Amino acid sequence: MQKAFFTALLAAGLGTAALAQNKPASSSKTYSAAGRQVQVYTTASGTQQRLAAGEKLSFQQVGQPLETQPTVFVDPTHTFQTMVGIGGALTDASAETFAKLPKAQQQEFLRAYYSPTQGIGYTLARTNIASCDFSSDTYAYVQDGDKELKTFSVKHDEQYRIPFIKQAIQAAGGKLPLYVSPWSPPAWMKDNNSLVQGGKLKPEYRQAWANHFVKFIQTYEKLGMPVWGLTVQNEPMAKQRWESCIFTAEEERDFVKNYLGPTLKKGGMADKKLIGWDHNRDLMFQRAATLFDDPEASQYYWGLGYHWYETWTGSGMQFDNLRRVHETYPQKNLVFTEGCVEKFDLGNVQDWKLGEKYGNSIINDLNAGTVAWTDWNVLLDETGGPNHASNFCYAPVIADTKAGKLIYTNIYYYIGHFSKFIRPGAKRVAVTASRDALQATAFLNTDGKVAVVVMNSTEKEQPFQLWIKGQAAQTTSPSHSILTLVVN
């Protein structure tokens, strides 16, 4: 009964438009923390604690906190957006690396990511349409000049990626919402006749390219991999030395309005979640305004995807841009579609700052209204690849393919503090902290449990009380740590 109820809630969260996802805060029933216990899970620098279950805390009546009492305030009666899922990308690089592992380590990897009890319970996945930089080579699914797509084949993917995705779905319990993203149309469809270095889709191939999306989704689904959604173009404003294609905001709008949207609808795929932009936070408001202020285009868009690489300009992460999009277009869904730490160095995989970058982003992204959060590669090898463009990066789990073992970075544990405890269907609730050393977000799960994530990236430990409507539980946030406090 409980499983059926949860499944129904999950289906509702994934299968409907944004109806309740992005409404302003609503006040639900009354909530009392009296008599409840809090289970604390800790990951902390300089310790062996990694998602470690610690003491159970009890609430006591305290009333009005003082300014001298550091406090994290949570109010579960005020709810915001509904969580769709948290996960990572199942790329060619991840699949090829996975294939090099011994069977025992492959099973360990699948449990570590997809088991909600033995692992961190990923509930979302992304994969690439044709090649991307995290592929060992460049490739396309159709032969040159085949406008009718008669030669379309995903045979390339059958060696590594398709078996990998299927095993991930199975490890996740048979359901793993998957969305798909292209890095480039086939070279012959572009004005630079190349998969790389940007270029643009030629006008005469717009319909063929829209048909290509439908063909890919149909093919993957026939092979047993249901596709939940798609993005229009990965990083449409980036000219890269790897697969890339430029779409201005107006070009993306018109492609979706006149070609991709109608083609998906005609192909019986109007229910697929179409996500625009799929690039950095810096330009996202201009993109949102162009796509969503046009009613004909907007009808096809479920939401807007974004990355965190605006930092390449020297900027910090621009969370305010995210908030502006959310408050201006509350009916659209925000999805973090990609992020990773670049410039891989095997000697640096245990740097604590790696995880803290993730914690800072996830907390701020969720608090700004994001409904789904997807890391980049779930697995890479000891070089930070394979990557045909030498764009080597970090992943939460690194495979030492020579030794046949897995290396868990603290990124894995930091993401786990969210993915393991904030489940699909959970609603974000109001949370604030009285000290800037404590960053926090909180969600009310469908089973009634409240998950509060608190991060401390300072050098000092910070005692605080978790305060819910006059009841408080005392605990301490260690220096350079992340806690998940589950209120039962």
Strands in 281-319 per DSSP E: 303-307
Contacts of 331 (CB under 8 A, 6+ apart): 18, 22
DSSP-derived letter for residue 438 is: -
Length of the chain (residues):
488
Distance of CA 218 to the CA centre of its chain: 24
- Rounded CA-CA distance 262/68 in Å is 59
- Rounded CA-CA distance 260/220 in Å is 18
Please identify which of the residues 96, 251, 252, 338 carries the catalytic annotation: 338
Please identify which of the residues 235, 243, 251, 310 carries the catalytic annotation: 235
- Rounded CA-CA distance 179/245 in Å is 19
Rg of the chain, C-alpha, whole Å: 22
Q: Which two tokens stand for residue 237?
A: 């404003």
Strands in 281-369 per DSSP E: 303-307, 333-338
- Tokens 């209120």 correspond to 487
- Rounded CA-CA distance 321/325 in Å is 6
Contact 59, 33 (CB under 8 A): yes
Q: Which residues on neighbouring strands pair with residue 44, listed in sequence order? A: 481
Contacts of 59 (CB under 8 A, 6+ apart): 33, 34, 35, 36, 37, 38, 468, 471, 472, 473
Contact 168, 90 (CB under 8 A): yes
Contact 131, 139 (CB under 8 A): yes
User: b/e map of 273-311 (b: 16 or more CB within 10 Å)?
Assistant: bbbbbbbbbbbbbebbebbbebeebbebbbbbbbbbbbe
Give the three-state DSSP class for 230: strand
Known catalytic membership, residue 235 = yes
Helices 161-171/92-99 angle, 10° precision = 80
- Rounded CA-CA distance 268/141 in Å is 22
**Checking DSSP bridges between strand 303-307 and strand 273-280, what pairing results, if any?**
parallel
- Rounded CA-CA distance 10/425 in Å is 6
Known catalytic membership, residue 250 = no
Catalytic residues: 235, 338
